[in-house]
Chain A
Amino acid sequence: MATRTAPPAAPPLARWRINMILLACLVLALANGRKLFDVQVVRHAELSGLAATEVQSKRTLLPQRGIIRDSDGGVLAMNVDRDTLGVTPRLIDPERVDTLALVLAPLVGRQPSEVKQLLTDTTREYVVLGRRLTPEASEQVRQLDESALVLTPEPIRVYPHGTFASSIVGVANHENVGISGVEGYANALLSGVPGSMEAEIDSAANPIWIDPPEVQAPRDGAAITLTIDPGVQRIIEEELAQAIGAKSASGGTILVLDPQTGAVLGMASWPFYDPNRYTEYSPEVYNRNPAVSDQYEPGSTFKVINLAIGFQNHAFTPDTVVDDPGYIARAPGCCSNWNGAGHAPMNPANVLLHSSNVGALQFAEMTGAEHFYQGVHDFGYGEPTGIEINGEGAGMVQWPDSTEDWRPIVLSTNGYGQGISVTPLQHLRAIAAVANGGKLMQPYLIKQWCEGEECHTIEPKVIRQVIDPEVSELIKPMMVRTANNSYAFAQGMWEKCLYEGYYDPNGNSGGVALVPGYNVAAKTGTSSIPDGNGGYENATIGSVIGFGPVEEPKFAVLVKLDRPSDVWGSLAIPVYAHVMERLLTHYHIPPDPSLIADCQR
């Protein structure tokens, strides 16, 4: 029987070796645990924050700036996207640099050498070559198929009609912040409210939708509709540009209001500017609107207001007569008529017809300072009208109770529009009150604004009843008489009628209609321009203010020409007549055949 022997026993491991291995494992485990504790507990907040910034992204969602439209729905200001062209220089193939520089230079408006320098500037990770590229330029860049070139769209504000109504609409700067005009005044309304999107993103910064992003939608800016009638605006811009050229004026304003509502139908000021290229103009041009900012002495146009206040206070009647020898002593060198000539009898109607300073002064004195300045205040002088345009002026009135060195001569000169300054809008609003039966209206430019589907319409607002309707009816024929007997023959207008004997300097014949077929009210004024050194420039501001048709006034119009070639300012009369005539045609208001003289046919 064979015997089997037991297998040889495995040599036992030395105990110390096992212990060493266990010890090493223990040390490693402890080190690992310590690191784990450090990462998971001690630096938890810091590291989880860092991780979140890698994968979590919070983007701001920009709202669309509100569109601005005219009253016919034409878009005056809107938004489009334009590309910014950037480049990563280190990705450019050196052999293509010259070609790219030559091709890109005209697209970004730089010199090829300059573009080449930017393309080879490898010290920078990213270089902007040009902003606000035209769509055509962007397309040409895309066709280059160069991976180092990056086109990034950004929203910009554009004005499709260029210079049209630019002084009203104003400008939004390159950061889309309104800085002038309605853009500036209604910036908060137009800007909207930004939203946000918080999401996990991939390496290309696209949201990963495994965890739905948290989106707070932006609220777009309100769409604004203005009261501006594009037809009216077009007429006054054309007439103003023509007048500036023909009369060699340095500047000017034409303003049209609806006297019944206070809505601004048109507002044009020279010089015009294109808001799409506003940086090419002086800030003085695009930052202010002369129709609401300029302050000037209204001159003789203020006589209308003087008479209205006097009638309202029963200080005199249309039959009251004062002496006008052409000069009256009130202070050294004061006061005389514009031509030094006297007229008699000087009643209120003749004050307007002859533009008598001496007569106006005496009627203002009859009214007295208390009533006169209360009336001036009631007509809205000396304070901003509240029109929705940035930078409105307040005008300047020397109130007796708040002006330290006020003297009675101030009242006397204020009577014919000197020593008081007004803004064009302020003055036209006051004349509109004379036209509409005595209601001082709140002038406004914003007709409606809509946020999404919710629209708010601005209703006309009567501020106060300044004069009685009867007073208004007293003044209107006086202004028409002045227009038809004096202005219709000025500046060579209706020359044929002049030769055919229609002209009567005393206004007894009825004259001819300033605008054939219509009764149009008008009053001219000539204003001196302070030179800033206590004196006056050797130039004037010529203006005409009025309304029509008198029976049911549809428009109140102010024409103001700064420093025209004729120092008496009568050059503004034909401009006023043309504007009024075109407005009446534009609004399809038929003429009264009985108001067309034979010499006008």
Chain B
Amino acid sequence: MAVYSRPLSGWSRSKAAATAAPRPQRANLLVTLAVVAALMSLLYLVQVGRVSTQGYQLEQLSYKRTQLERTNQQLMYEIEQAQSLDAVRQRALALGMQPIRPDQTRYLTIKIHPDSRWTAEAR
């Protein structure tokens, strides 16, 4: 029987040496490594995804807060305008009220009995 053979090159020799370990043991090691790497990648991806999602939610909430602050400021502005003395005066006049003249003011002097002083002050 004739056999075709060629001398092994240096690279092939080292490869052959590396595969000298029993085949099933080597395969198990590779599979385990691949699974660990995949799990770690998955974990990282899940974490990144979660952080990104929460970051996005945070941004949304921050935007909402800004919007609410703007609305709050606008409402405060409108309240201040409605409470201005000019606005109050106009509403009072519309209700038929009249500004008091100094000569219409009446002062009542109330003499407080010393025993009732505490109650009077508390009021």
Contacts and interface: CB of A to CB of B under 8 A. Distances in A.
Interface string A445-457: 0000000000000
B1 A4 contact: yes
B52 A208 contact: yes
Interface stretch (B15-23, B30-38, B53-61, B111-119): B53-61
A584 B86 CA distance: 21
A135 B81 CA distance: 15
18 contacts: A4-B1, A5-B2, A6-B2, A6-B4, A74-B83, A75-B76, A78-B77, A78-B80, A80-B70, A80-B77, A81-B70, A160-B80, A162-B84, A164-B85, A207-B59, A209-B52, A590-B107, A590-B109
A162 B80 CA distance: 11
Contacts of B92: none
B85 to A, nearest CB: 5
A80 B78 CA distance: 11
Contacts of B54: 209
Interface of A: 4-7, 74-75, 78-81, 135, 153, 158, 160-162, 164, 206-210, 230, 234, 581-582, 584-585, 588, 590-591
Contacts of B109: 590
Contact of B76 (A78, A161, A230, A582): A78
Nearest to A211: B51
Given A161-B84, A585-B102, A210 B51 contact: yes
B90 interface: no
Nearest to A591: B107
Contacts of B107: 588, 590-591
Contacts of B76: 75, 78
Contacts of A75: 76, 80
Interface in B40-81: 48, 51-52, 54-56, 58-59, 70, 73-74, 76-77, 80-81
Contacts of B58: 209
Contacts of B98: none
A4 B86 CA distance: 120
Contacts of A81: 70, 73-74
Contact of B48 (A206, A210, A584): A210
Given A78-B76, A209-B52, 5 more contacts: A4-B1, A78-B77, A80-B74, A161-B84, A581-B102
A192 B105 CA distance: 46
Contacts of B52: 208-210
Nearest to A3: B2
Nearest to B47: A210
A234 B4 CA distance: 116
B70 A161 contact: no
Secondary structure of the B side of the interface?
helix
B85 A234 contact: yes
A208 B80 CA distance: 39
B105 A585 contact: yes
Given A230-B85, A234-B85, A158 B77 contact: yes
Contact of A80 (B2, B55, B73): B73
A78 B80 CA distance: 10
Contact of A135 (B2, B48, B74, B85): B74
Contacts of B1: 4
B102 A582 contact: yes
A230 B86 CA distance: 11
A230 B88 CA distance: 13
A590 B48 CA distance: 75
A230 B80 CA distance: 13
A7 B81 CA distance: 104
A520 to B, nearest CB: 13
Interface string B1-18: 110100000000000000
Contacts of A585: 100, 102, 105
B61 to A, nearest CB: 12
A79 B1 CA distance: 101
Contact of A7 (B4, B48, B80): B4
Contacts of A590: 107, 109
B73 A206 contact: no
A164 B84 contact: yes
A74 B80 contact: yes
A153 B70 contact: yes
Contacts of A210: 48, 51-52, 55
A79 B54 CA distance: 31
Interface string B82-110: 01111000000000000010100101010
A79 B73 CA distance: 7
B105 A207 contact: no
A242 to B, nearest CB: 13
- Pick the 5 closest A-B CB pairs, nearest first: A209-B55, A160-B80, A590-B107, A80-B73, A161-B84
Contacts of A584: 102
A467 B107 CA distance: 36
Given A81-B70, A209-B55, A161 B80 contact: yes
B80 to A, nearest CB: 4
A160 B102 contact: no
Contacts of B102: 581-582, 584-585
A219 to B, nearest CB: 17
- Which of B55, B58, B70 has the most A CB atoms < 10 Å from its CB? B55
A321 to B, nearest CB: 39
A584 B105 CA distance: 11
Contacts of A209: 51-52, 54-56, 58-59
A160 B84 contact: yes
